[in-house]
């Protein structure tokens, strides 16, 4: 390789001559001026030093950026944890949700009407917990298939008279894949045949070491029937949530996820939405997948009309043009023009994809025939 002059190398490295001369001084390289030539090895060594310096600078810059982002996050208000209840058939998912819902109704003076909005809140002294109202895997899976992250925590119900069953394992796999923290609820502890040790041993076989055995898997014994242990379960959920340090920006551009949707003969499309970021307001335009809407009204699970829905609230939204899919991410958009255009774009994109897939399929069939 040809020898290189100092000023040429400086230019190549995008630095001032003086800077490079200083490095050469530090390296103990002698030269006459910036027009002097450098040996190949010297030039190479200089390049390595510069690369290392720049790498360090870049790393420092990235660390600083991460620190700033973390500081900004720390300045945001906390949001309630969102919890999904999963488990094997008949292990008590619905009973637990019912118990939580009922105890919540009993707490309120008025009692009575509760609206089905896909999720409900349980308020405790330690804070609020949002429970997704649909037990079972389907809702969770369909939501996850659309790439939305909904639940922060999965409570996996295991009947203590039965132990871990196939769908318990499925639930564990789903929760893990979704990145949700897992809390096990050993249910039906009121039954004489309940065997907490068997639940522990079953968990060990799934690589979860219960706290009782010196591990860190959280297992709360409960009875969804009598309510025994349910308060402990709520405490544990709030503890895990605190460690997760869940926060959301109520001022950010609003974002949420569709929990479920149905058509009401009178009202039209009713969609349950969990707000994850920002604050949705009546009159806002939104897009959920290929469907757009304008929020005409919102209702919470206490059947109250809501003008605003901040992060962590689950509301029933009136005003979608068509039925959105469960699990679809909901984005705020500035106006009707944007809403319609984005929805139409997505429909076209899907049709293109489908047409593409079909052509591919046909081509393959023809290829098969040849």
d(CA 73, CA 64): 14
By CB under 6 A, tell whether 225 contacts ligand GTP: yes
- Return d(Cα 223, Cα 158) in angstroms, integer: 11
Q: Is 104 in the site for ligand GTP (CB under 6 A)?
A: no
In the three-class reduction of DSSP (H, G, I as helix; E, B as strand; rest coil), residue 89 is classed as: coil
Q: Closest Cα partner for 276 from 41, 106, 119, 90?
A: 119
Stretch of residues binding ligand GTP (CB under 6 A), selected from 10-18, 92-100, 115-123, 239-247: 92-100
In the chain, what's the furthest Cα-to-Cα distance?
94
Q: Is 254 in the site for ligand GTP (CB under 6 A)?
A: no
Cβ neighbour number for residue 148 with a 10 Å cutoff: 21
Q: Which is nearer to ligand GTP, 76 or 191 (CB)?
A: 191
The residue among 257, 287, 278, 309 whose CA lies nearest residue 82 is 257
Q: Give the residue among 155, 330, 150 at the shortest CA–CA distance from 254.
A: 330
Q: At closest approach, how far in Å is the CB of 137 from ligand GTP?
A: 9
Told to check if 134 binds ligand GTP by CB under 6 A, we report no
Measured distance CA(233)–CA(149) in Å, rounded? 22
> Per-residue contact track with ligand GTP, 35 to 74, x per CB under 6 A?
----------------------------------------
* Whether 309 contacts 282, CB under 8 Å: no
If one asks whether residue 93 binds ligand GTP (CB under 6 A), the answer comes out as: yes
Element (H, E) at 214: none
Q: Confirm or reject binding of residue 115 to Mg ion (CB under 5 A).
A: no
Q: Minimum Å distance from CB 135 to ligand GTP?
A: 5
Q: Return the range that interacts with ligand GTP (CB under 6 A); candidates 73-81, 93-101, 120-128, 138-146.
A: 93-101
Give yes or no for a contact between 295 and 280, defined as CB atoms under 8 angstroms apart: yes
Among 89-97, 200-208, 261-269, 358-366, the segment contacting ligand GTP (CB under 6 A): 89-97
- Interatomic CA distance for residues 344 and 289, integer angstroms: 10
| Contact by Cβ (8 Å): 137, 174 | yes
Our finding on whether 95 is near Mg ion (CB under 5 A) is no
187 binds ligand GTP (CB under 6 A): yes
Q: Which is nearer to ligand GTP, 190 or 341 (CB)?
A: 190
CA distance 126 to 323: 37
Binding segment toward ligand GTP, per CB under 6 A, in 178-186, 188-196, 231-239, 298-306: 188-196
**20 or 86, CB closer to Mg ion?**
86
Q: Which does 92 bind (CB under 5 to 8 A by kind): Mg ion, ligand GTP, none?
A: ligand GTP
Q: How far is the CB of 68 from ligand GTP (least distance, A)?
A: 45
Q: Kindly list the distances between the CA atom of residue 192 and the CA atoms of 44, 197, 231, 268, 366, in Å, as whole numbers in the listed order.
A: 78, 14, 21, 49, 65
Smallest separation (angstroms) from ligand GTP to the CB of 224: 4
Distance CA 188, CA 92 (A): 8
Asked if 190 interacts with ligand GTP (CB under 6 A), we say yes
Candidate residues 17, 36, 37, 94; the one interacting with ligand GTP per rule CB under 6 A: 94
Contact 147, 162 (CB under 8 A): no
Contacts of 263 (CB under 8 A, 6+ apart): 269, 270, 323
Report helix, strand or coil for 322. Answer: coil
Residue 306 touches which of ligand GTP, Mg ion, none (Cβ within 5-8 Å per kind) = none
Residue 272 interacting partner from ligand GTP, Mg ion, none (CB closer than 5 to 8 Å by kind): none
Residue 191 or 252 with smaller CB distance to ligand GTP: 191
* SS3 assignment, position 255: strand
Comparing every residue's Cβ against Mg ion, the nearest one is 94
**Taking CB under 5 A as the rule, does residue 94 contact Mg ion?**
yes
Stretch that binds ligand GTP, among 29-37, 88-96, 210-218, 237-245 (CB under 6 A): 88-96
By CB under 6 A, is residue 91 in contact with ligand GTP? yes
Enumerate binding residues for Mg ion (CB under 5 A). 93-94
């Amino acid at each position: 390789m040809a020898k290189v002059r100092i000023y040429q190398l400086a230019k190549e490295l995008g630095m001032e001559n003086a800077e490079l001369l200083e490095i050469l001084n530090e390296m103990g390289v002698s030269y006459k001026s910036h027009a002097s030539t450098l040996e190949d090895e010297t030039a190479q060594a200089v390049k390595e030093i510069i690369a290392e310096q720049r790498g360090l600078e870049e790393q420092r810059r990235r660390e600083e950026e991460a620190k700033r982002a973390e500081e900004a996050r720390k300045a945001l208000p906390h949001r309630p944890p969102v919890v999904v209840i999963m488990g094997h058939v008949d292990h008590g998912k619905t009973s637990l949700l019912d118990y939580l819902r009922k105890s919540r109704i009993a707490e309120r003076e008025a009692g009575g009407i509760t609206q089905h909005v896909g999720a409900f809140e349980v308020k405790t002294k330690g804070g609020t917990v949002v429970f997704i109202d649909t037990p079972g895997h389907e809702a969770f899976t369909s939501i996850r298939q659309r790439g939305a992250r909904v639940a922060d925590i999965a409570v996996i119900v295991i009947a203590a008279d039965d132990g871990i069953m196939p769908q318990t394992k499925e639930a564990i796999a789903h929760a893990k894949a979704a990145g949700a923290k897992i809390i096990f609820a050993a249910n039906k502890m009121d039954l004489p045949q309940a065997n907490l040790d068997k639940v522990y041993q079953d968990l060990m076989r799934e690589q979860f070491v219960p706290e009782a055995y010196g591990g860190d898997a959280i297992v709360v014994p409960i009875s969804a029937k009598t309510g025994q242990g349910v308060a402990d379960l709520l405490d544990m959920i709030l503890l895990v949530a605190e460690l997760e340090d869940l926060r959301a920006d109520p001022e950010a551009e609003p974002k949420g996820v569709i929990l479920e949707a149905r058509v009401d003969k009178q009202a039209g499309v009713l969609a349950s939405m969990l707000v994850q970021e920002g604050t949705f307001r009546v009159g806002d335009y939104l897009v959920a997948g290929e469907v757009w809407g304008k929020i005409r009204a919102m209702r919470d699970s206490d059947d109250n009309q809501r003008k605003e829905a901040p992060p962590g609230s689950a509301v029933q939204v009136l005003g979608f043009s068509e039925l959105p899919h469960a699990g679809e991410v909901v984005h705020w958009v500035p106006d009707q023009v944007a809403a319609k255009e984005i929805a139409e774009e997505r429909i076209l994109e899907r049709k293109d994809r489908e047409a593409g897939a079909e052509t591919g399929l046909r081509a393959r069939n023809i290829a098969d025939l040849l």
